[in-house]
Every structure is written in C-alpha cells, then in structure tokens.
Amino acid sequence: MFYSVKTLNDIGEREAIRIIKSILSKGLESIGIGDDCAAFDIDGRYLLVSTDMITASTHIPNSMNPWEIGWFITAINFSDIAAKGGRILGMVLSLGLPVDTSEDFLVSIIKGADSCARRYKTSIVGGDTKENKELTLSGTVFGLVPKEQFMSRKGAKVGDIIAVTGSLGKAAAGFLAMQKGCSRDFTRDLFQPTPRVSEGIRLGELKVIHASMDISDGLSSSLYQLGEVNNVGFEIWLDSIPISNRLIEVCDSQECIDNSVLHFGGDYELLLILPEDKFLEVKHELDLLGTNITKIGRVRRDLEILLKDRNGVYTVLPDLGYEHFKHR
C-alpha cells in the first residue's frame, strides 16, 4: 500500500496561493489577499501594501547585471501600487545572498534599487540581509491612496471596455533578443521595466476606472484572473493590441508576435476596465503624461474569454501565463 504526497511541483503556484488564502484569517481592516495590494483603512485613505520576491534560478537570467536586478525588484513592486492608483511611500528590500557574493555586486544591486526609487521620487527605507544558497530579493512596497481613488481588481461591468497602457511585447522582445545574443539595448525593457506610477495616480484621480491590475504575468493570465474576480468574460481584439516595435523587429513570424503579446509577461503595463464613454477623457489625461492607452476588448456577460483573430474569427483564448513550480 502506498499513497502519494502532493508537492509544489504537482500543485503549482496558483493552487499554493489558493491553499494559503483558505487558511489565513482575514483581518477586519484589510481588503485581503487576491488584489495586487492589501489595503488598510487609515482615516479615509487606504494604506496599500504589496510584496514580490525573485530568485536567481527562476527570475534572474545570467545576462542581467546586479544594477538591473536592484532596479527590477523595485520596479515590479512599484507596479502593484501604481495599478491601485496609489502614491508610493517607500519600500523595504531584503536580500538573501550567497556567501561568495562580492561587495561590488551588493553595491550595484543597492544602487539599482535606489535609482529606481529615486526615479519615482521615493526611497528604500530599510531591509534585511541574510545568507542564502541562492540570490533572493524580497521587496515590500507601501503607499497611500484616498479611498475614492482606489482602483480595485473588482468592478467590471458587462459592456465596459478593456484598455491597456503603452504597448505589449517589450519584455518578450528583450527575452527573444537575449536568446539570439543581440545587444543590451534590446534587453532594457525586460530588465529595467518602468512601472506606470504617475499614470496610476492620475487614473485614480479621475474616478472612472471600474477595475485595474498590472499585466506582470502576461495578458491572457491577467484576463483570466480579472474574469474570475469579476465573474465575467471578455472578448479581446487581436488586431487592436498595441505591439512593441522592438517585438516586431525581433520576431520572425506573426505567430511569434501574437503569442508574445498574448501570453508573455513582464511588461508592467496597466490593464484597465472602464465605461466606453469615459475612454476619451482618460486618453486625453494620459496623453498629457506622454502615455498611450488603447482599447483592446470588451467585458462579456458569459464567462468565456474569447480572442477575435485578424480574420474576425472568435476562439477561446488559452490561459498560458507563466506559473512557478509546476513541472515545465
């Protein structure tokens, strides 16, 4: 007689998170796990808190230099506050470092993190430094947003449009270029993402966004997460998705381009759901910040997530976002 023990390799990251959520007693003040940030009511504002961890073997390619590693962990944390409309107060950064880490390497990580923080007019305010077999960085960012400016993941209404800031495929282009051995110019967007902090604040102030999240895990994965939270479906118009010029340059085929914009993560753009009649106002405001916004689809009543391809044919969009642990 034998029985099997499930490991993380079997269950995957999302199931692990589902298990964690099912155990934790939720605090009364907290909006709770499941959004990009936890949110606490403090005198009419929300204190937003979010945390991201990266490790050498799964998140840090060899060609990423330590300055970029520091920038990266900071930027991806900031993106979660941006997606909620928050102003960043600061971040704490903990480092798990192999004993043979050089002082120069450490200095460069910190300079990268500090540069990113300064770029967004905030700072790294503390942290911890511990020995680890594997280079590990854990950032926790916190910010504030007036309650009425908080952009939840939840709030999508049937008929709303789906829009995205900037363009998609920038990080994918960097990844593909890295595989082809192209120059470092191409990996900049992959290793040094620029979270939409000013845009997030402005969008929150407009109070017209029904739901918001960042696209860190890729478009398809983000849509499936939004669909589940909101109990709705979507249709996405492939022809409308704004594509990075770099991606077009790097890809050999239309298939490469389409798969990259639909499923590859790492762009840290904002995925927004809003009433169609507010789109021009939002577009105007983001134009003033020098940022594009593009309609890419619509919220549907039924729960399917459909892709309208370049021939006008609708098919179910598969959920192919990157998931940790699960045997790859």
Please report, as residue ranges, which positions from 55 to 114 form the binding site for a copy of itself (by CB under 8 A): 55, 57-59, 89-90, 92, 94-104, 106-107, 110-111, 114
Q: At what angle do helices 66-82 and 103-119 cross, to 10 degrees?
A: 30
Chain center to CA of 74:
12
Nearer to a copy of itself, 1 or 99 (CB): 99
Q: Does 122 bind a copy of itself (CB under 8 A)?
A: yes
**Gap between the Cα atoms of 67 and 65, Å rounded:** 6
Closest separation in Å from C-beta 97 to a copy of itself: 6
198: contact with a copy of itself by CB under 8 A: no
Residue 18 sits in the site that holds a copy of itself (CB under 8 A):
no
Q: Are 162 and 153 within 8 A, CB to CB?
A: no
- Interaction of residue 2 with a copy of itself, rule CB under 8 A: no
Distances in Å between the Cα of 250 and the Cα atoms of 42, 179, 201, 216, 317 are 47, 11, 33, 21, 24
Using DSSP bridges, classify how beta strands 45-55 and 87-97 pair: parallel, antiparallel or unpaired: unpaired
In the list 73, 81, 116, 124, the residue contacting a copy of itself (rule: CB under 8 A) is: 124
The b/e string for 272-306 (b: 16+ C-beta within 10 A; e otherwise) is: bbbeeebbeebeebbeeeebebbbbbbbbeeeebb
The span of 119-127, 200-208, 234-242, 295-303 binding a copy of itself (CB under 8 A) equals 119-127
Residue 231 lies near a copy of itself (rule: CB under 8 A): no
Give the one residue of 47, 81, 151, 197 binding a copy of itself; rule: CB under 8 A.
47
311 binds a copy of itself (CB under 8 A): no
Residue 189 CA to chain centroid, in angstroms? 14
Minimum gap (Å) between residue 326 Cβ and a copy of itself: 9
Is residue 178 within 8 A of residue 63, CB to CB? The reply is: yes
Say how many residues touch a copy of itself, by CB under 8 A.
Answer: 77
Q: In the complex with a copy of itself, which residue's Cβ is closer, 117 or 172?
A: 117
CA atoms within 13 A on the CB side of 268: 24
Whole-number Å distance between alpha carbons of 84 and 254:
33
Contacting a copy of itself (CB under 8 A), which of 9, 231, 245, 254?
9
In whole angstroms, what is the distance from residue 134 CA to residue 100 CA? 11
**Nearer Cβ to a copy of itself (103/255):** 103
Would you say 45 or 202 has its CB closer to a copy of itself? 45
- The distance of closest approach from Cβ of residue 82 to a copy of itself in the complex, given in angstroms and rounded to an integer, is 16
The token pair at 18 is 């589902």
State which of residues 83, 116, 117, 270 lies at the interface with a copy of itself (CB under 8 A). Answer: 117
Site for a copy of itself in 133-172 (CB under 8 A): 133-134, 136, 138, 140, 142, 144
Are 143 and 81 contacting, i.e. CB atoms less than 8 angstroms apart?
Answer: yes
**Candidates 4-12, 156-164, 238-246, 251-259 — which segment interacts with a copy of itself by CB under 8 A?**
4-12
* ∠ Cα 151 299 312 (to 5°): 135
